[in-house]
Amino acid sequence: MKYAYTILYVEDVEKTMSFYENAFGFQKKFITPEHDYGELLSGETTIAFASHSLGNSNFKKGFKQLSINEKPNGIEMAFTTENIEDDFNKAIKAGAIEYEPIIEKPWGQKVGYLRDINGFLIEICTPIKN
């Protein structure tokens, strides 16, 4: 077994992919002709986006759509960087919203939290040094 994808269900796949390209530097890997599903080049695990309408067709019992106006769900994506302050600010300039400022943890790692344009939580952090 291998962890292959994280798929986030969003209102606008193309707009979300553009945000992730501008905010975090990921590149587009694939998008369907209908623009209802797309993937980013993001390392070992693919970050993918699917439209709410595709989600509704996949999940007959429905699903909870995230709203930027509500508290985020208890899940996050974490991106590591050696340039946390610069990358954190770059994401904000691209449209991310600061959720928690960058702080240094007792073990020396720097961590800050953002919300993307859909309301998903994103942790920007330095790698943990062993």
Distances (CA, A) of 37 to 28, 104, 129: 11, 36, 36
Would strands 97-104 and 37-41 be described as parallel, antiparallel, or unpaired?
unpaired
Q: Per-residue pLDDT tens for 58-74?
A: 999 999 999 999 999 99
Task: Say how far apart CA 21 and CA 27 lie, in whole Å.
Answer: 6
118 CB contacts (<8 Å, ≥6 apart)?
Answer: 8, 10, 11, 16, 66, 68
Does the pLDDT value for residue 130 go beyond 80? no
Per-residue model confidence as pLDDT tens digits over 70-96: 999 999 999 999 999 999 999 999 999
| The CATH number of domain 1-65, selected from 3.50.50.60, 3.30.830.10, 3.10.180.10, 3.40.50.300 | 3.10.180.10
Where does the pLDDT of residue 52 fall: very low under 50, low under 70, confident under 90, or very high at 90 and above? very high
Which whole number is the average pLDDT over 35-57?
Answer: 95
Q: What is the mean pLDDT of the chain?
A: 95
Helices and strands: H and E segment counts in the chain: 3, 8
Q: What pLDDT does residue 62 have? A: 92
**pLDDT tens digits for range 97-120:** 999 999 999 999 999 999 999 999
Residue type, 30: F
Of 8, 20, 14, 6, the C-alpha closest to 36 is: 14
* Percent of the chain topping pLDDT 90: 95
Residue 100 to residues 21, 41, 50, 71, 96, Cα–Cα distance (Å): 22, 26, 27, 13, 12
Q: Are 13 and 35 in contact (CB under 8 A)?
A: yes
* Common-topology check for domains 1-65 and 66-129: no
The domain defined by 66-129 folds into 3.30.720
* Structural domain boundaries in the chain: 1-65, 66-129
Residue type, 76: E
CB-CB contact of 27 with 39 (8 Å)? no
pLDDT at 112: 98
